[in-house]
Amino acid sequence: MQANTKSGSDMLIQERRNHLLNLIQRDGRVLVSEISDALGISRITIRKDLDYLESKGLVQRTHGGALSPHESTMLDPSLQEKAQKQLKEKLRIAKAAVSLVDEGQCILLDSGTTTTAIARELRRFSHLTVITNAVNIASELAGTDFEVILTGGTLRKNSFSLVGPLAEDVLSEMHADILFLGVDGFDIKTGPMTPNVLESRVNRAMIKASSRVVTVCDSTKFMHRSLALIVPTKAINTVITDDQLSDKDFEALTSVGIEVIRV
């Protein structure tokens, strides 16, 4: 993260707050620990600055940092919008996810930008069965020799995913070796979340159909909640995330028996 050309101690209060706001507008979030280290300012001071910006409606405070106010728990951004965020992290997560896959396995892929990146990485294999509720992922794999099974259901235009009773019924008859589950929020005390209730029901059906459940999400997802709970945290076997996941969150996940892979 690039700091202002001035050191933090040389900045006026308003300059520092403007700097924080610019970073949030650029990256969609800031972490107190990163800003404190970059500017050489105490974490207490950074928290006070973020609290002030929140009081003006300019940011949304979260545990450990702040988000753009547009990152609402009710927001359901399009796949194209999500594809532009944390791209490098998603690519690293995808490579780590594929390292868990063996030739000949049955893989279940949830919809989302991280799982789309995983689908592209899977093309290095020769023989896989891939079940997905994402129309775009099925399209990504159409030119392979994989057996690709699309669940059917009602199309959600924002995510290119198929939801509803038909998707849930098809999944109830399937079994996968491993599920890669994308999420929009992850409250460790509660569980992974999504902004759409129908999507959460399909996700639960995916989890029931899978021997191993791997949540794939960048560390920003641990900073906020979303509308619909998918499953309790303890239902997840493995989490693959980026190396910005805090030690506190890492310990909270591992304390309930979840394998955490930081990349």
pLDDT in tens, 119-161: 999 999 999 999 999 999 999 999 899 999 999 999 988 788 9
Of the CA atoms within 13 Å of residue 233, those in its CB half-sphere come to: 20
CA 171, CA 38: separation in Å to the nearest integer? 47
Full DSSP string of 152-203: --EEETTTTEEESHHHHHHHHT--EEEEEEE-SEEETTTEEEES-HHHHHHH
| pLDDT at residue 248 is higher than 80 | yes
| pLDDT at residue 26 is higher than 60 | yes
| pLDDT at residue 3 is higher than 50 | no
Question: For residue 78, what pLDDT is reported?
Answer: 47
Model confidence, pTM: 0.72
All structural domains of the chain, each given as residue ranges with its CATH number in brackets, are 8-67 (1.10.10.10), 79-262 (3.40.50.1360)
Paired residues of 60 in beta bridges:
67
Quick: pLDDT tens for 53-107.
888 878 878 777 887 765 554 444 545 555 456 688 999 999 999 999 999 999 9
Tokens of 74: 């009710």
Q: Residue-wise over 207-219: b if at least 16 C-beta within 10 A, else e?
A: bbbbebbbbbbbb
Q: Name the least confident of 2-16, 17-31, 111-125.
A: 2-16
